[in-house]
Amino acid sequence: MNNEKLETEINKIKARNARVELDKKWETSWTRRLCICVLTYGVVVAYSFTIQAVSNVFLSSLVPVIGFTLSTLSLGGVRKIWEKVIKK
């Protein structure tokens, strides 16, 4: 009976690890980044039209999208530095 319980626990851990690994892949995927960029652009365009903020809504709405994209690209390097500091 203990072997069955141990095997069940091992299978639960394996299933959890598979979920965690998939979550990590999603967090760093270009699909996720692209979806966020498209959604951000759509929201900013809609907001800019609503408040009539600028004359060229479509061009000015690219600014937050580009900012987001650049921040996601640079965070990988920042994380590596952070990991080195934490390990000390």
Cβ(27)–Cβ(11) under 8 Å?
no
Structural domain count, the chain: 1
Q: Which domain holds residue 38?
A: 2-87
Return the percentage of the chain with pLDDT > 90, whole number.
24
The pTM score is 0.65
27 pLDDT exceeds 70? Answer: yes
CA distance 14 to 18: 6
Q: For the residues 54-74, what does the mean pLDDT come to?
A: 85
Cβ(61)–Cβ(41) under 8 Å?
yes
The rounded mean pLDDT for the chain is 87
